[in-house]
Amino acid sequence: MTVDRDRTNARTKQSHTLQRKFFLFLPLLLALELSGCGYNTMVSLKEQVQSAWAQVENQLQRRNDLIPNLVEVTKGYAAHEKGVFDNVANARAKLIGAGTRGDQIAAANEVSSALSRLLALSESYPNLKADQQFARLSDELAGTENRIATERRRYNEAVQSYNTYIKSFPAVMTSGWFGFEPEKYFEAPKEAQQVPQVKF
């Protein structure tokens, strides 16, 4: 009789343990079931972010290729503006050597800031402003800056879609487990948010 009671108690304990495990894993199973193809969606959105970033990098490289020519033409007219040229060269070197996407974004913003100071030199040097090669390079650079702005917008849209998805229910329950982390936006440099000073 005692043996039967012990067996019954053991079965009851085993049953309670299984019930506890079931109720512990039920939310996980429910989340996985609700997410359905959530993993595939996260992968697809992540790939869109990577593709959009590749287009940004293409335009940043195009701008980097224009910079040495622009600097050389400008040096011919404003050789004593060494600080401006050093800033451009240092910012360009940082962008080339940047490893992470965050570092690349920071360096790209630094290049934009340094280039705006370089282009501002043309206001102080009328002969430079009239130089045909400088005008051509400035136009190419302006076109490239427009392309960068377009690709930055597309990249930020892809990041927004991706970040929104992985932070939304039910994907938020599994995205961290699968290693999907929020991506960083490519925001405009702080200098672009300031009102420019106009001198007459």
Instruction: Identify the CATH number of the domain in which residue 84 sits.
Output: 1.20.1440.20
pTM of the complete model beyond 0.85: no
Confidence check: pLDDT of 193 > 50: no
- Give SS3 for 81: coil
Please indicate, yes or no, if residue 78 is contained in any of the structural domains.
Answer: yes
Please indicate, yes or no, if residue 105 is contained in any of the structural domains.
Answer: yes
Structure tokens that stand for 126 in this block: 């009328």
**pLDDT level of residue 162 (50, 70, 90 thresholds):** very high
Please indicate, yes or no, if residue 184 is contained in any of the structural domains.
Answer: yes
Please indicate, yes or no, if residue 12 is contained in any of the structural domains.
Answer: no
- Domain with 66, as residue range(s), is 39-192
**pLDDT level of residue 15 (50, 70, 90 thresholds):** low
pLDDT at residue 199, as a whole number = 38
**What are phi and psi for residue 41, nearest 5 degrees?**
-65, -45
What are the residues whose beta carbons fall under 8 Å from the beta carbon of 180, sequence distance 6 or more?
42, 46, 166
Structure tokens that stand for 154 in this block: 């597309």
For residues 184 and 105, the answer to whether their CB atoms sit within 8 Å is yes
Q: Quick one: which H or E segment has residue 153?
A: helix 132-167
Q: Per-residue DSSP letters for 125-150? A: -HHHHH-HHHHHHHHHHHHHHHHHHH
Q: How many CB atoms lie within 10 A of CB 121?
A: 17
Please indicate, yes or no, if residue 1 is contained in any of the structural domains.
Answer: no
Cα–Cα distance measured from residue 180 to residue 103, given in angstroms and rounded to the nearest whole number:
20
In the chain, the percentage of residues whose pLDDT exceeds 90 is 30
- In the chain, the amino acid numbered 21 is K
For residues 111 and 63, the answer to whether their CB atoms sit within 8 Å is yes
Please indicate, yes or no, if residue 50 is contained in any of the structural domains.
Answer: yes
Please indicate, yes or no, if residue 29 is contained in any of the structural domains.
Answer: no
- What digits encode the pLDDT tens for the residues 43-86? 999 999 999 999 999 999 999 999 898 888 888 888 778 888 88
Structure tokens that stand for 81 in this block: 């503006």
| Residue found by looking up tokens 């994907």 in the block | 171
Number of domains observed in the structure of the chain: 1
